Structure 1
Amino acid sequence: MSRTRVLILGGGYVGLYTALTLKKKARDKVDITVLDRRPYMTYAPFLPEVGAGSIEPRHAVVPLRRELPEVRVLQGKVDSIVHADRRVTATTDLGEELVVEYDELVVALGAVSRTLPIPGLLEFGIGFKYVEEAISLRNRVLGRIARAATTTDAELRRKLLTFVFVGGGFAGVEAFAETEDMAKAALRYYPELSRSDLNFVMVEAAPRILPEMGPEMGAYTVTELEDRGMRVLLETRLESCVDGHVVLSNGEEFEADTVVWTAGVKPSPVIQASDLPLGPRGHVNTAATLQVIDDSGAPIGGAWAAGDCAQVPNLVEGEGDWCAPSAQHAVRQAKHLGTNLARHLAGDPLDEYKHKHLGVVASLGLNKGVATTMGFKLRGWPAWVMHRTYHLLAIPTFNRKARVALDWTAAVFFRRDLVSMGRIQEPRRAFEEAARS
């Protein structure tokens, strides 16, 4: 009996959980291939804590080959999707072209950073979507503190210790707060510096931050951050950051050595060039069954999609027309997609995806947070505990849960390591200098 070839594009939440579910429910009927540029799934909610040194970077990722032993895992960047021919092309990091044919396609490519044509952003900005970027930001902030402590130039010190974060969504606020918490903790080792030397600035174009939590919790978060000496500039846009010279729409201009961009995401650009039907915002258009559909609402045979790259109808009354791009929806959609695909292969009817959002949580540094869940609003330490508890339960595999729990437990007895390893991004520098001398 021939097996159905299932190709899953993307190894994030949707890719991993779809493969796990499908393998469990249709093991003998499918040959599963997962194609992703990275050999691991990144648990994005832990990136701020990775950047702050509260969690080891390796513990915030899930190795695909380890968790999917019976699944073919290919590493490559997806270049094109031609669904009419049931064919996907990709390029490996070595420049080799991969051509993968399939019977059923699952589009789980997620989203990429949504940038704007701001002068200097491409050359000077730092993203915060992948674990590599979180590690880089940690090393950069600690490295700038060390350099600032060794200079006598007041203007240079001010520039080194000015950190600008653009975007007031969950990723931006958590990265902003956790990074400042780490920087403040690092100052205990630098008697040359004081808390007033640190200059953390958040720039948000909207009139409030954390819009998913409502105006009350957004206002509370602004107050909490400003009480810590941080600046939150609402209804303000970044106009330019050429060579670190920051220009804002409110007329302010100043020097900064670090600009972190967290101002939203957009669907993977590969989707735009494919022959799959797209919704008005550029997402793959799907039915509530997670089948890809055309403009008339009819299913496109052999194509499925979920997560941040998909436009999934929200069947819960009062929660909007489409499901929000959140990890909570992505995980549940993936399991539902895997189940529906298994039912489809067995000739059984499909179920529609319907999930009421349980709430949202955000960390604002050690022992600080905000949360809204099932009508309750929590602040401070209780919200922080809820944040950690929820994400400890949500991160895939017992292995990762245990490692993260050990990281947090160790932090109770030992202070987190606050050493910059910026040279890790230039591993041959010392060798080259020695060779020239």
Structure 2
Amino acid sequence: MREIVIVGGGYAGFYTARGLEKRLHRGEARVTVVDPRPYMTYQPFLPEVVAGSVEARHAAVSLRRHLRRTRVVAGAVTTISSADRTLTVRPARGPDYQLRYDTLVVTAGAVTRVFPIPGLDDQAFGLKHVEEAVAIRDRLLTSFDRAASLPHGPERQKLLTVTFVGGGFSGVEGFGELLALATALLKRYPEIGFEELSFHLVEARDRILPEVSDAPGAWVVRSLERRGAHVHLNTQLVAAEYGHVVLSSGREFDSGLIVWAAGNASNPVVQRHTDLPIDERGLIVVRPDLRVGTEAEVVPDVWAAGDDAAVPDLAAAPGARTVPNAQHAVRQGRLLAKNIVASLRGRRTKDYLHHSLGVVATLGLGRGIFQYRRLVIKGFPAWLMHRGYHVLAVPTWERKTRVLAVWTTAALYGRDIVSLASVQHPRDAFVSRGNPRDGEVTAGAPSSGPRP
């Protein structure tokens, strides 16, 4: 049976596998997805996971549950050799091994772009995976709990200071949602005043949200500043050691939570550990029909799409490439499945062509921005459009139903503000057995008195 191997279970990989399951005849080919994570992350929901508006598990789509005829291999691909049609797979445990393929689909996605900034690796969170979004939310909730019991001073102020680096969609949406959560928390923490919150958004360019035009981008900045945020444009993060933030503008402050959302970089496996053709940015060179190669020369039986591929944007100016977002990755994955099946059966493939439907972003509960060409919608209607679009776009009716149920519950009863930061160290309670350290009183510790 022909082996079709998909590297990466993100948007493009998931939709490619799903489309192949629908189109392949039984016995025609076997589909395998290789990914370290057993789920596809619906990244547009991560800002709402940060704010507690979407449950973390609802932003993750199980590969094994929804790809029922696809073999799922839990492991990371470390090398790709198209010359001998093999991959090297590194499982979570055990030695590396070789995996052969007849048709290869590379949808490994991008990684977070970082710079050698002192303290960044030790202090910052990313915002690309569900685990990171949950940790950011728990850190804010825990900081509120701690700050409420402290006197006014530097330590309390540090706990109530949040810094986001990166003014793209991921950074702005996460920042806006976390700011909305912090503002809502003040009702439950009378010990903390609004003036004590200190939220900073740092962007190296002279504007945020480059996908929208200048005027809507400037409106977003004004909207965030009216809500008490500090937006630092033309500014870079210089250092973050021990939570002490130093900006290129000369401003310095202590921050208890630092989130790095300063864009994507090419996948190291694609950039340095493959013999596939890549461009100057480290992305795989593909033709308009998503085959790997150029118009003059094609790599046999290898396809690519998503954030790790330089896909020609036929709807834009000549030489343009599609931007790395979910809108393109989902549609490229669907076309990949059709083209692979067409190629197997000796039919013609189709080129990828997609005209943008516009861009929409959430800025916090009840706030948003939408733009389609010259049409700009702001505020509550744009926020409704954001939720409506993404609940339709998230894969499977099961996930749509769960997300809608959480939104309905939140509308009736408000946000859930319980921090589960302790799940990151689940054995601590068992190991300590409730025994407090010297001078510490532990809630729930067993009584030493006689039992009835």
Structure 2 length-normalised TM: 0.94
- Could you tell which deviates more after superposition, 241-250 or 316-325? 316-325
Which amino acid is 2:205 matched to?
A
Spell out, residue by residue over 1:229-262, the C-alpha distance to the aligned partner (whole angstroms, 9 max, x if none): 0010000000000111111000001111111000
Match of 2:325, as an amino acid?
Answer: S
1:59-89: per-residue Cα shift (whole Å, max 9, x none)?
Answer: 1111000111111001011111111111111
**Alignment-derived partner of residue 24 in structure 1:** 22
Counterpart for residue 286 of structure 1: 286
Aligned to 2:424: 425
Q: Which residue of 2 aligns with 1:275?
A: 275
CA contact (8 A) 1:358 1:374 kept: no
Tell me the equivalent position of 1:103: 102
1:100-125 residue CA offsets vs partner (Å, 9 max, x unmatched): 11000000000110000111101111
Shift of 1:373: 2.2
Tell me the secondary structure at the aligned position of residue 213 of structure 2: helix
Question: Which residue pairs with 1:308 in the alignment?
Answer: 307
8 Å Cα contact 1:278/1:284 also seen in 2:
yes
Letter in 1 for 2:288: A
Question: 5 Å matches for 1:22-171?
Answer: 22-28=20-26, 29-171=28-170
Whole-Å separation in 2 of the counterparts to 1:407 and 1:207 = 37
Distance in structure 2 (CA, Å) of the matches to 1:420 and 1:14: 33
Q: Distance in 2 between matches of 1:96 and 1:63?
A: 26
Pairwise CA distance, 1:434: 2.3
- Aligned-residue RMSD, C-alpha: 1.3
Shift of 1:387: 0.4
CA contact (8 A) 1:307 1:325 kept: yes
Q: Does 1:406 align with 2:400?
A: no
Matches within 5 A, 1:214-253: 214-253=213-252
Counterpart of 1:50 in 2: which secondary structure? helix
Question: For residue 345 of structure 1, what is the aligned residue in structure 2?
Answer: 344
CA displacement at 1:97 relative to structure 2: 2.2
Give 2:441's aligned residue: none
3-state SS of 1:222 partner: helix
SS at match of 2:83: helix
**Aligned-partner Cα distance in 2 for 1:97–1:89:** 7
For 1:150 and 1:229, how far apart are their aligned partners in 2? Answer: 23
1:352-391 mapped onto 2 (5 Å cutoff): 352-373=351-372, 375-391=374-390
- Number of the residue aligned with 1:4: 2
- Match of 2:191, as an amino acid? E
What amino acid does structure 1 have at the position aligned with 2:290?
L
Letter in 2 for 1:171: S
Q: Which residue of 2 aligns with 1:199?
A: 198
Matched AA of 2:61: V
After superposition, where does 1:178-197 map in structure 2 within 5 Å? Answer: 178-197=177-196
1:347-380 CA-partner distances (Å, limit 9, x unpaired): 0111111111111100011110000125411000
Residue identity in the other structure for 2:74: Q
Question: In 2, Cα distance between the equivalents of 1:215 and 1:418?
Answer: 36
Shift of 1:319: 8.6
TM-superposed CA distance for 1:179, in Å, is: 0.5
Give, as a single letter, the amino acid of the residue that structure 2 aligns with 1:304. W
How far, CA to CA, are the matches of 1:11 and 1:27 in structure 2?
Answer: 22
CA distance in 2, matches of 1:161, 1:241: 16
What does residue 14 of structure 1 align with?
12
> Is the contact between residue 162 and residue 255 of structure 1 (CA under 8 Å) also seen in structure 2?
yes
Greater mean alpha carbon deviation, residues 312-321 or residues 121-130: 312-321
After superposing the two structures, state which structure 1 stretch, 151-160 or 219-228, moved more: 151-160
Q: Distance in 2 between matches of 1:144 and 1:363?
A: 24
2:275 aligned partner, one-letter code: D
Task: Give the letter aligned to residue 286 of structure 2.
Answer: T
Partner Cα distance (1:319, 1:121) in 2: 38
Q: Which moved more, 1:232-241 or 1:183-192?
A: 183-192
Cα distance in 1 for partners of 2:319, 2:169 equals 19
Instruction: Supply the distance in 1 between the matched residues of 2:22 and 2:14 (Cα, whole angstroms).
Output: 12
Give 1:30 shift: 1.1
Which 5+ residue runs of structure 1 have no aligned equivalent? Answer: none
Q: How has the CA–CA distance of structure 1 residues 320 and 410 changed in structure 2, closer, same or farther, with 3 Å as cutoff? A: farther
- TM-fit CA distance, 1:302: 1.3
Give the deviation of 1:318 after TM superposition: 4.2
> Any gaps of 5 or more consecutive residues in structure 2?
437-452
Residue 215 of structure 1 aligns with an amino acid whose one-letter code is: D
CA distance in 2, matches of 1:106, 1:90: 15
- Preserved contact between residue 174 and residue 365 of structure 1 (Cα < 8 Å): yes
Q: Secondary structure at the match of 2:98?
A: strand
Shift of 1:170: 0.3
Per-residue CA deviations over 1:381-428 (Å, capped at 9, x if unaligned) read 110011011101111001011111111111111111111111110111
The 1:320–1:166 alpha-carbon spacing in structure 2 relative to 1, beyond 3 Å, is farther
Once the two structures are superposed, residues 272-311 of structure 1 have per-residue CA deviations (whole angstroms, 9 ceiling, x without a partner) of 22111001211010000100005x6411001100000000
What is the rounded CA distance, in whole Å, between the counterparts of 1:182 and 1:174 in structure 2?
A: 12
Counterparts of 2:223 and 2:434, CA distance in 1: 51
Alpha-carbon distance in structure 1 between the residues aligned to 2:203 and 2:393: 29
1:153 Cα deviation from its structure 2 partner: 4.9
1:123-152: CA deviations, max 9, x gaps?
Answer: 111100000000000000110111111112
Q: Specify the code of the residue in structure 2 equivalent to 1:14.
A: A
Q: Which amino acid in 1 is paired with 2:2?
A: T
Alignment-derived partner of residue 445 in structure 2? none
1:180: Cα distance to partner?
0.9
Instruction: Classify the secondary structure of the residue corresponding to 1:189.
Output: coil
* Cα contact 1:111–1:309 (8 A) shared by 2: yes
Letter of the 1:23 counterpart: E
Larger Rg: 2
- Give the whole-Å Cα distance in 1 for the aligned partners of 2:315 and 2:231: 34
Distance 1:252 1:95, change over 3 A: farther
Identity %: 47
CA shift for structure 1 position 99? 2.1
TM-score (norm 1): 0.97
Could you tell me how far apart the structure 2 residues matched to 1:289 and 1:414 are? 49
